[in-house]
Amino acid sequence: MASALALVMLGSPLVAAKRVKASPQPLPVASSLSGSYLSGRSALLAQDLAAASNYFTAALQRDPDNFYILDRAFVTSLANGNVTAAQLLAERILAEDRDHFLAQLAIDVQRIHEGNFNADMTSTVAQNVNPLSHLTFALVSAWEKAGQGKTEEAIEDLTATTGANWFELFINFNAGLLAEYNNNPRQAAEFYKAAYEIDRGALRNALSYTRMLAASGRQQEALDIIAEYEQLIPGHPLLVTLREKIESGQVIERVAKTPAEGLAEALHGLGIAVSKEGEELSANYLQLAIYLNPNNDSALIGLASLFEQLGDNERAIKYLSAVSDNSPMKRETEIQIALHYNILDNLEEARAHLEKLVESDPTDLEAITSLGNVLRGHSLFKEAESSYNQGLGTINEIQANHWTLLYFRGITRERQDKWEAAEADFREALTLKPEQPMILNYLGYSLVDRGLKLDEAQKMIERAVRLRPTDGYIVDSLGWVYYRLGRYEEAVEKLERAVSLRPHDPIINDHLGDAYWQIGRKLEARYKWNHARDLEPEAEDLARILDKIENGMKDAVPVGLASSADNK
């Protein structure tokens, strides 16, 4: 899932980040077989799984014997969460192709969901030469046997499974799940330890291992591992909750209380792992995981993250909203819901969500900061500043990781023309993070724009460019510094580079147009201004750009000459 910080640290250095309506747009109704089919293809290219499912289903109704369309209707229906409809299509697919991996999986999952564990999975596992399908059905078979009361045999079969190098991680983790289901925490701890040592970067592995250490009476070892992770990701809700549970001596409950819940965990893990292979396949696994266990909060969060990547913020909100109220991740998901509403340009819902969180816990720094960021993104700078003030007021001792609060508050103060207070915030943030290019860029740009401390400002921005040479906004800042200093040829060079990095930013194109004008390339200047106009700048910027298109520019007076007394 995206963090609050990632959503707010975009945008031109002195302009509030532009809000983007990222959800897929409705596609037209198709009235023919070819129209439905082509519309389905277009929807897939647009990464709109809901529309793709609807179009391919409509196409199938017009051509029910077309196996390719049947396959597309099945896969997109499953990825879209229409699991029952997908299972009906899976039966039709298997009537023609018994080797169809996903169709067989959908039917097996349906059977286990219904509590039917009587199928013999041996041949299904053996005949699948594709590594992913081979491992998947080995896991299905293991939970099938667990449902038959043969959990120890299931563990033996699973650990005997051979295949690709990456199998080892999943086999050990799921053997741990099976041992945990079988009320054998010591055995589970050994399997989880093996998975943990293969991939210590996966929090899921660390949490599972520490849970079983605690369940088998090794509480201090578990707490030591948690302490290591809390150094890396302080305050993570899952770590905090588990630590408190262990410290208070609470019973560590099993993750999987039924075979269906165990298989859901297995499919969730594979669904996250295959996300790099494509969103459609990842969605298939995650949707089946939720079908098996609608209370699998991790799978819900995984699906929300997937739909966020697809640009479908409304679907992301739907899955995040389904996370259970008693989940340690509930507050974090509520924050993310608010940020999705913000991307949808629904300030009222975004603000209401965050204000409710802050009201329920006035010390929740993440919620307070997110509220400030949302308000700042809508140019409500005075209210955003109040949020940042509240956030800073919750901190007993400013640490290096608090630089963002000072930086964001500095932006709100600068936008309210409270320059002395803004500069103080930027400089304090810079003492916490001396090599942070965002701070160097914003402070340097602001100083140049005011004709203040030009040598220092130029060095700041040049340093920011060295730290982040492919950031179009920062390169634009350096070009604009050169422009303001009257070094127009150098400005053109940097601004052309900035445009190549951020070709669709109206302000950067506008800046390049200004620089072209000053070196006599007036036809190109008007071309860039017209392009900037077409890129939908903010209203204030649009008025200025239109005036230049109509009337051109006067010769610029370099700030170094206009305010030379300040450059000391």
**Mean pLDDT per 10-residue segment, the chain (568 residues):** 30 33 47 78 81 87 90 93 94 91 94 87 64 92 94 94 90 96 95 94 92 94 93 89 93 92 95 84 95 94 92 93 93 95 95 95 94 95 97 92 95 96 97 95 91 89 94 94 92 96 95 96 95 92 94 72 35
Structure-block tokens of residue 335: 């924050």
Exposed, middle or buried: residue 337 (CB in 10 Å: 0-12, 13-18, 19+)? buried
pLDDT of residue 39: 81
| Angle between the N-to-C axes of helices 101-113 and 83-96, in degrees from 0 to 180, rounded to the nearest 10 | 130
CA distance 329 to 474: 35
pLDDT of residue 152: 95
pLDDT of residue 126: 54
Exposed, middle or buried: residue 47 (CB in 10 Å: 0-12, 13-18, 19+)? middle
CA distance 177 to 216: 15
Q: What is the dihedral of CA 319, 324, 329, 331, to 10 degrees?
A: 90
Which residues, including other chains, have CB under 8 Å from residue 103's CB and lie 6 or more apart? 74, 89, 90, 91, 93, 94, 97
CA distance 90 to 288: 13
Q: What amino acid occupies position 116?
A: N
pLDDT of residue 50: 86
pLDDT of residue 51: 84
CA distance 22 to 44: 16
Measured CA angle at 329 (ends 366, 231), to 5 deg? 65
Measured CA angle at 418 (ends 414, 419), to 5 deg? 65
pLDDT of residue 355: 96
3-state secondary structure at position 31: coil
Confidence (pTM): 0.82
383: region left, alpha or beta (phi > 0 left; psi from -120 to 50 alpha) = alpha
User: How far are the Cα atoms of 518, 533, 554 from residue 526, in angstroms, in the given order?
Assistant: 12, 10, 14
Do residues 158 and 182 touch, judged by C-beta distance below 8 A?
no
pLDDT of residue 42: 81
- Nearest CA-CA partner of 490 in 466, 512, 460: 512
CA distance 431 to 454: 20
Exposed, middle or buried: residue 373 (CB in 10 Å: 0-12, 13-18, 19+)? buried
CA distance 59 to 40: 9
**How many CB atoms within 10 Å of residue 98?**
11
Structure-block tokens of residue 452: 């203040």
CA distance 558 to 562: 6
User: How far are the Cα atoms of 257, 278, 426 from residue 190, in angstroms, in the given order?
Assistant: 20, 33, 50
CA distance 373 to 10: 11
pLDDT of residue 558: 63
User: How far are the Cα atoms of 317, 417, 420 from residue 414, in angstroms, in the given order?
Assistant: 33, 5, 8
Q: How many CA atoms does the CB half-sphere of 421 hold within 13 Å?
A: 12
Which residues, including other chains, have CB under 8 Å from residue 245's CB and lie 6 or more apart? 214, 252
pLDDT of residue 556: 65
